[in-house]
Structure 1
């Protein structure tokens, strides 16, 4: 039963180095190799404490299921606790939030930490992407059961029914679009597409007939850590999300809000959310570190990798570069998909883009070289999660075509930094297949030019970030 509510909550929801002369925006002669994303004005007056409180107690999804249903199921669960809860949320799982709907009904829905709290090396980490998410089963039957259960238990004019209507409606629209064919991948962009195509862009009210078409192929990505938000000038793997970070971070609200009037209130609170995320720190590596070897690795990293991934320590830098797919050569399907998606035009005509503070979508044929703070915890790697360890990220010839995790967060490889895996899977659960469209493990071959000793030194240094 816990999976049902995890699914509900989940519905809220690289790379380069100095081996190549990157870092300059194209002058118009020939294709661009890399682009620097310029900063946009962001609020500097947010309250981080209030931001966390709103993330775990706020009503930014707007609608959901009755709290009495969640309480009955929570009583059967072994609940993990990541933070203190208020009285209404006492006994509610950390990945869900109870709130009072506008009509006074006590309601529950998922919060951001369904996708952005994950387990690694046996510990649950706030802000870590949840790489154990399961999106390989269809959510269509679940939605049907949920709607039927509501109809049987509550009258049409009951407050609980009214508080469920918007969530139930958008859950039905998005459920067919998010079933994936890889374990651990997250279909957040698909979810947003499916909800937004049934919303008027000006006021976010429901539209029965879809406003645009979607690809039939469902594609997902690895879930990035939230502690990188403060360094980024754009969100998403292709750097598509530009402008107001509070607006961009608030997009999960399209799963359940009635219209933009609710979102206008929430965006003010998301100024505090942005302040919280901007000061969020990655977990410290829990194992031992060979300090002399790490210092060797730092010199190599700063020479070969820092041009795109930044520097760390006393004087940190992060260049915010998008690397052309023809340069990084990682699987390009996701970048191509976002460039052709009609959600870009919808978003740029929507309340998100036309009201202050403005945000916008600006896709490109490339992937952002991410910050590497806490990289030890963020396996698997590349935008599609196709590489199980940091070592294999630096040695493309060692990457397995198919690999299987056992689904346990304790199965961690401290030497290679990433997941322990079986390289010869035989149709086992949690098997990642890099031959599936959109999930190839090629590209990012810059580390292949390192010697084996240099490679291990860089791995050791990355433990310190």
Structure 2
């Protein structure tokens, strides 16, 4: 069966594979240096910030063609390891070698004339639902549980000649620096936050020069559990990420992994020139329509229930939509506090100060709030699992906390459950500690572990069963 890729609301018959990197550098202006609270934001409403305009069409072209991650595998070595690319893995609008590659990979020729294959953003930001692969949807099956150095070593066996060796070594040195901090213990969790801190630890903030020895104490080796949210929510949100740490110019936060390879301020400036276009493209994306039948009468019954119980945080929808951009305090939302607490307890301030010193001042402020932003709900049917840590496998369980499993894993078929509004999953009797081996362990979602708790957001518990059914039906229409 062929999968369809949904790009900006247009359906294309293609499939996708990938492994991703996330976000371009955002930098805190030195003018905030006198403010003792410059690294914190209050909960409540998030103010809007003027954004640089961009061209969505040019942004798509840049997203799938430009080498914003400029180091990687020499193409000749990669070709000896890579399986044959199926035509269903190709993406429209790509040029040159890129037109032949799975869309999670990008090719370019480096200054020494060596063709390089590197990862791009689409492994984390594309995922299949049925026979569709939706570009912009966070990938709940992205696997960062393997040590990234294993691929580097595999590729290294096939490198030939001094120029290829130099290109491989450049990539290998960067992966060696970040690998200890980006390995997750559960498939579907995204280590991009830890990746950002690890890169800062190895870079001089004034020059962007790389140091094999960390210049700052690196982050903890275990990434806090996080799922990848969909890109199309960016059009409504005034700040980026779950704690709204990304204040100011969003286009300078989007592709932070460019710091993996960009060794000079001039290289970052080149990427920054088209970053507003990429942002404009992401904001032009629309969510996929619910693929099944919607009971219009039941959905109409659910709308007033939703507006009375959910809209004050998540907004309204229809002809005159609104979105409040509200960060909900931890004591009110009640969901796992580890991520928000870690962002605001002072343990990461050395990285926020790194941002202070960086050269792109005057546009971005790194200022998390001690809570989580209530997201828009456009396309919410498609973005399981739920909560910031992906601990709840379905919307039905999100609206009724009694249905939330303590231990679970995705079904091997990776099918979407249109009734429960989530991914089909298996409820387990035990967690990771009882797993027979590591291959089984990484597939288990264990809500008893730090950062993985599935409590909180229990507002739906007060609804009747009929009200919950009606709200679920209404959510299919958003």
**For this structure pair, what is the TM-score category when the shorter chain's length is used for normalisation?**
0.7 to 0.9
Among 196, 200, 216, the residue aligned to 1:192? 196
Tell me, what secondary structure is at the counterpart of 1:313? coil
Pair 1:382–1:362, CA change in 2 (3 A): same
Q: Which is worse superposed, 285-294 or 91-100?
A: 91-100
1:80-124, Cα deviation, whole Å (9 max, x unpaired): 234332122132111111122244322111111111011123321
Tell me what 1:183 maps to.
187
Q: Deviations over 1:220-260 (max 9, x none)?
A: 30011111111111111111111111101121201111222
Asked if residue 106 in structure 1 is aligned to residue 111 in structure 2, the reply is no
Moved more, 415-424 or 380-389: 415-424
SS at match of 2:425: coil
Selected match of 2:59 from 51, 75, 80: 51
Deviation of residue 309 (structure 1)?
A: 0.7
Check whether the contact 1:166–1:258 (CA below 8 A) recurs between aligned residues. Answer: no
Report if the CA contact (8 A) 2:145-2:186 is conserved.
Answer: yes
Aligned to 1:344: 352
Which of 398, 401, 416 is the aligned partner of 2:420?
A: 416
Cα distance change, pair 425–81 in 1 and its aligned pair in 2 (3 A): farther
2:469 is the counterpart of 1:464 = no
1:26-70 deviation digits (Å, cap 9, x = unpaired): xxxxxx9941111111022x1111100100100111222112233
In structure 1, the residue matched to 2:457 is 444
In 2, Cα distance between the equivalents of 1:317 and 1:361? 26
How do residues 83-122 of structure 1 correspond to structure 2 at under 5 angstroms? 83-122=92-131
Partner of 2:70: 62
Give the drift of 1:77. 4.1
Partner SS, residue 372 of structure 2: strand
- Per the TM alignment, residue 406 of structure 1 is displaced from its structure 2 partner at its CA by 2.0
Asked if 1:368 is matched to 2:373, the reply is yes
SS in 1 for 2:274: helix
- The answer to whether 1:386 aligns with 2:391 is yes
**Taking structure 1 as reference, are residues 33 and 294 closer, same or farther at Cα in structure 2, changes over 3 Å only?**
farther
Contact preservation (8 Å) 1:96, 1:111: yes
CA distance in 2, matches of 1:166, 1:227: 34
Aligned-partner Cα distance in 2 for 1:41–1:298: 32
CA contact (8 A) 2:313 2:324 kept: yes
Superposed, which structure 2 residues align to 1:260-409 within 5 Å?
A: 260-339=265-344, 340-341=347-348, 342-352=350-360, 354=361, 358-409=363-414
Aligned length: 432
Check 1:244–1:189 CA distance in 2 against 1; reply closer, same or farther (3 A cut): same
**Alignment RMSD (CA, Å):** 2.1
Matched with 1:155 is 161
Q: Verify the 8 A CA contact 1:82 1:126 in the aligned structure 2.
A: no
Q: If the length of structure 1 is used for normalisation, what is the TM-score?
A: 0.88
- After TM superposition, the structure 1 stretch with the greater mean CA deviation from structure 2, 448-457 or 160-169, is 160-169
Secondary structure at the counterpart of residue 109 of structure 1: strand
CA change 1:6–1:414 in 2 (3 A) is closer
Contact 2:182 2:221 in 1 (8 A): no
Query: Contact 2:242–2:372 (CA<8 Å) still a contact in 1?
Result: yes
Structure 1 match to 2:448: 435
Decide which moves more: 431-440 or 175-184: 175-184
Greater than 4 Å deviation, 4+ residue runs: 72-75
8 Å Cα contact 1:404/1:425 also seen in 2: no
Secondary structure of the residue aligned to 2:50 is coil
Aligned partner of residue 275 in structure 1, secondary structure: helix
Counterpart in 1 of 2:171? 167
In structure 2, how many angstroms separate the alpha carbons of the residues matched to 1:82 and 1:89?
Answer: 9
Counterparts of 1:250-269 in structure 2 under 5 Å?
250-269=255-274
TM-score by length of 2: 0.86
Structure 1 residue 371 displacement after superposition: 0.8
CA distance in 2, matches of 1:194, 1:34: 27
Q: Is 2:208 the partner of 1:236?
A: no
User: Which string of whole-angstrom CA distances, capped at 9 and with x for unpartnered residues, describes residues 362-383 of structure 1?
Assistant: 0121011111111111000000
